[in-house]
Structure 1
Amino acid sequence: MQILGFSQQMLTGAMVSLQVAVCAFIMALTIGAVASVLTLKPKTVFGAFWIVYASIFTGVPSLLVAFFFYYAGSDIIAGITGLFGAEKRIDLTPFIAAILALGMVYGAYIADLLRSAIRNVPKGQFEAASVLQVKKRFFVPLIIVPQVIRIALPALTNMWIVVLKDTALISLIGLKEIMAYAKLASGVTKEPFVFYLIASLFFLLMTSLTYYVSKHLQSWSDRGAAVYGKD
């Protein structure tokens, strides 16, 4: 019965883990999409900035980045806002620090895979658009973006799983996610195997669900490519 008493906490922790993962992945996808487009042309100002950004965030473990944002993020924000005459201090919660850390770290990885996907779009697509004089505002979102998504979907699926699993590390900055509650429940009930097994089953369930959804999305996105190949 004591074990069942922690079911609500474990469920709450699982929801927090999902919320952090979803928010961080959306942030990483946004950073990656913007950076992949802006770094297609080499030797630009943004390209030089991105080299520094990617070197830092791919070279430092996610947990250390989370510590940095949690303990120093508020001071950094205060310093930046102080330059504009605003003296209000904003304290970063563990939830926000976790999203910033995972989002900025995996944004660097997603930028690389999206840039690679863009370059793998057949050049004939661009040449056809030029010959037909298709306007860029229609050509990019309706023709290029769907193909980029199809090419990058397997790698993006793996990246989502990595982000989800990395939420387990964020408990070390005080976030009450599923691993934090598993540790708490294990200490109270003296049943660590049970609660860490529950946490493991949660991640396995989410991974299986991700692969199931990804498989159907990949089949759906490949329909046009299959038809094109037969032609």
Structure 2
Amino acid sequence: MPLLGFVEQLGLGAMVTIEVAVLSYLLALLVGTLFALATVRRRPIVNAIWQVYASIFTGVPSLLVAFLFYYAGSGMLASLFSVVGMRVNIEVNPFAAAVVALGLVYGAYIADIVRSAIHNVPPGQFEAANVLLIPRPTAWFFVILPQVLRLALPALSNMWIVVLKDTALISLIGLKEIMTYARLASGVTKEPFIYFILAAAFFLLMTGLTYLVTQRIEGWTGRGLRRAAPAREETARAL
């Protein structure tokens, strides 16, 4: 196959990598945010469920979780449906296994990030919402969560990069993403340097785009805030 043919396959693999990373991150963000909101206050049952979930998915490598979902996912789903008397045979493909595995693993980490950001919101914001008689869902959506986003954004952007890079491991369950095609092209052409460098350039490009987008979002979430001058500037002014 000509060189351009392999480059085209790398492009197709890159699109699959982006799809898996985006869907996994959205699932992790949803799961993490729900657990964070549910565990802000101490509820014995909810906290017990959270402890079990966090212990499992932070203690087991994401690749092993992907293997479990890929090879045993069909059996687990059949068992769940059999509880309600339904016989369902659902085949779990590598794409679905990758999305669910990465989403559940990193959902545990995002839950800690979002919960910490909630605790760092000034208590006066909650008190002001109560004094103004703002309905609780409205206060959370329009007052609290925007501030949580601003506080958690640096850690959330780093977590996105981690999820993106972990998609390279998922190629081991048969998902045809960029690393799969890079290995295939390297084996056929005996030029591993070229194709692995192209794969590395893709991840570096995505990291750079993440940095630019994060800067834009930080500017948007930081509107109206007075930022403290750096210590060096304060010292220079004092001198």
* Alignment TM class, shorter chain as reference: over 0.9
TM-superposed deviation, 1:114: 0.1
- 44-53 or 12-21, larger mean C-alpha shift: 44-53
- 2:199 maps to 1:199: yes
Could you tell me which runs of 5 or more consecutive residues in structure 2 were left unpaired when the two chains were aligned.
230-239
TM-superposed deviation, 1:137: 2.5
Instruction: Write out per-residue CA displacement over residues 54-77 of structure 1, whole angstroms, 9 at most, x where no aligned residue.
Output: 011001111000001000111000
> Who is 1:132 aligned against?
132
- 2:218 maps to 1:221: no
Instruction: Write out per-residue CA displacement over residues 131-183 of structure 1, whole angstroms, 9 at most, x where no aligned residue.
Output: 22222132111111100001011110000000000000000000000000000
Mapping of residues 72-221 of structure 1, within 5 Å: 72-221=72-221
> Who is 1:19 aligned against?
19
- 2:8 maps to 1:4: no
- 2:33 maps to 1:33: yes
Q: Write the distance in 1 (CA, Å) between the matches of 2:13 and 2:223.
A: 38
Query: What's the TM-score, normalizing by structure 1?
Result: 0.96
- 2:79 maps to 1:58: no
RMSD of aligned alpha carbons: 1.4
Number of residue pairs matched by the alignment? 229
TM-superposed deviation, 1:130: 1.6
Secondary structure of the residue aligned to 1:224 is coil
State, as a whole percentage, how many aligned pairs show the same letter: 57
- 2:60 maps to 1:45: no
Query: What's the TM-score, normalizing by structure 2?
Result: 0.93
TM-superposed deviation, 1:129: 1.4
Q: Write the distance in 1 (CA, Å) between the matches of 2:133 and 2:124.
A: 14
- 134-143 or 103-112, larger mean C-alpha shift: 134-143
Instruction: Write out per-residue CA displacement over residues 35-84 of structure 1, whole angstroms, 9 at most, x where no aligned residue.
Output: 00001112420110110100110011110000010001110001111112
